[in-house]
Amino acid sequence: MRRRSSRAAVVFLALFLLTSCGLLPGGDERTVTVWLMKGSASGAFLKRFTEDFERKHPDIRLDFRIQEWGGIGDKVSKALKADDGTGPDVIEVGNTQVAQYVDEGGLLDLTLESMRDWDMNHWLPGLAEPGRFLGHQYGIPWYAANRVVVYRKDLFARAGINKPPKTRAQWLADTKKLDSGQQQGIYLPGQDWYTLAGFIWDEGGELAEESAAGSGRWTGTLDTPAALRGMDFYRRLQALGDGPKDTDEDNPPLVGVFAKGDIAQVVAVPGLAQVAVHQNPDLKDDLGFFPVPGETAAKPGAVFTGGSDLVVPESTDDSAGAVAVISALVGAKWDTELARSMDYVPNKTTLAGRVADKSGVAAMAAGAAEGRATPASPQWGAVEANNPIKEYMTAVLTGSDPTTEAKRASRRLTEALTENM
């Protein structure tokens, strides 16, 4: 954050002093520095936002600095520890990263603003919960993205299925009908642990549980009956296609497989459809979306919610300016415009209707209302770096005993989550 004296204020002050008519208030012009991640917002959006914000806040200038995801963790950690006044005032961080930065220290507590000004009771839980620690809110939800089912409308119609399923039981039945001959009912890679997590949550299970709030002592819970039921549903669904059992959705890239193959469904973010059509224009009018089905038709299934929160370093020397920027970005007007321009889910369940005309985003928004995030442990990054959940899934899908493998994976989760304590 930088400050510079306003030349206009100095001139006016001199004139008032000369005429002995009194003093004008000082006019310090402040620059609020905002770190955003590459691809989160378009240049056109930032231009419109900046013009509107600076018109309403004539004493503040915005300095957006776009960051790469690669290596961002270390860069943010260093910025939070700096106290020379040259660092950012607002930082966009991944929703699952907030716990790590809270643990390292250096984030401003924004609980009061969240309760008083930002309507926190309507935030998407998958964005809000990871930003909270011991009842205090540090990460402010900005936008979300989550998986939906991308499906071939033509293949559904050919199989006599005239509407998407709304329950997991119906989804399984429809997928069995679609899995015929050379056609795959669904392409589901064996190590898509994000999708598995949703099934586990739907059954009432967890990936890991903390012994007491704020204790930092986590135990892997993949071996609970609920979690095992989630894995069993994944196994039955995955078998209705030819997805590899020992790789994730990046190996091979899911979009390429879907674009070229005779595949009725995939579980992915809606943006995959646009890329698939680019690779195979014949799919242009054939792709549709529906939320991952839940246990009952009353609500969609739980899904892992990805996305971003906004945080403020304690070291900022303009917390008021930083809060003003966040207030504008997460408010209904600009949050909705961002969601519509970038095909995101807005940060509040009450804003879902504003993207209802965009079928892929609407399906995401319906699922996001039931969204969750990974355990809010500072060590979760270590889990993903050498993920025991993936190995567990492959073991079960290739015939190993689910309970034995779940206990083994739970032990490894516990070890990773309690490392360095």
Mean predicted lDDT score pLDDT of the chain:
91
Q: Is the dihedral of CA 109, 115, 116, 119 positive or negative?
A: positive
- Per residue in 12-38, pLDDT tens? 333 333 333 333 344 578 999 999 999
Percent of the chain with pLDDT over 90: 83
Element at 309 (helix H, strand E): strand 303-311
Cα–Cα separations (whole angstroms), residue 411 to 75, 221, 231, 294:
32, 9, 17, 29
Is 149 in contact with 240 (CB distance < 8 Å)? no
pLDDT band at 409 (very low <50, low <70, confident <90, very high): very high
**Could you please report the per-residue DSSP string of 311-324?**
E-BTT-S-HHHHHH
Q: Which residue has the tokens 């270390």?
A: 74
Cα separation of 352 and 367, whole Å? 11
Cα separation of 404 and 192, whole Å? 20
Residue 66: pLDDT over 50:
yes
Residue 326: pLDDT over 90:
yes
pLDDT band at 1 (very low <50, low <70, confident <90, very high): low
pLDDT band at 86 (very low <50, low <70, confident <90, very high): confident
User: Any residues with CB less than 8 A from the CB of 274 and at least 6 apart, and which?
Assistant: none
| Torsion angle of the four alpha carbons 389, 391, 392, 394, in this order, in degrees rounded to the nearest 10 | 120
The mean per-residue pLDDT over the stretch 46-51 comes to 98
- Per residue in 282-297, pLDDT tens? 999 999 999 999 999 9
In this predicted structure, what is the pLDDT of residue 381?
85
In this predicted structure, what is the pLDDT of residue 184?
98
The CB-side HSE value for 307 (13 A sphere, CA atoms) comes to 39
In this predicted structure, what is the pLDDT of residue 420?
65
407-411, long-range: CB < 8 A, 24+ apart: 407/223, 409/220, 409/222, 409/223, 410/219, 410/220, 410/221, 410/222, 410/223, 411/220
Residue 108: pLDDT over 50:
yes
Residue 263: pLDDT over 80:
yes
pLDDT band at 6 (very low <50, low <70, confident <90, very high): very low
- Per residue in 145-203, pLDDT tens? 999 999 999 999 999 999 999 999 999 999 999 999 999 999 999 999 999 999 999 99
The mean per-residue pLDDT over the stretch 44-71 comes to 97
Q: Write phi, then psi, for 167 (nearest 5 degrees).
A: -125, 155
In this predicted structure, what is the pLDDT of residue 418?
87
Residue 95: pLDDT over 70:
yes
In this predicted structure, what is the pLDDT of residue 158?
97
Q: Which tokens hold the place of 146?
A: 């989550």
In our burial notation (b when 16+ CB lie closer than 10 A, e otherwise), range 261-287 reads bebbbbbbbbbbbebbbeebeebeebb
The mean per-residue pLDDT over the stretch 241-261 comes to 95
Q: How far is CA 184 from the centre of its chain?
A: 29
In this predicted structure, what is the pLDDT of residue 82?
86
- Per residue in 383-405, pLDDT tens? 988 999 999 999 999 999 999 99
| Torsion angle of the four alpha carbons 103, 219, 95, 128, in this order, in degrees rounded to the nearest 10 | -100
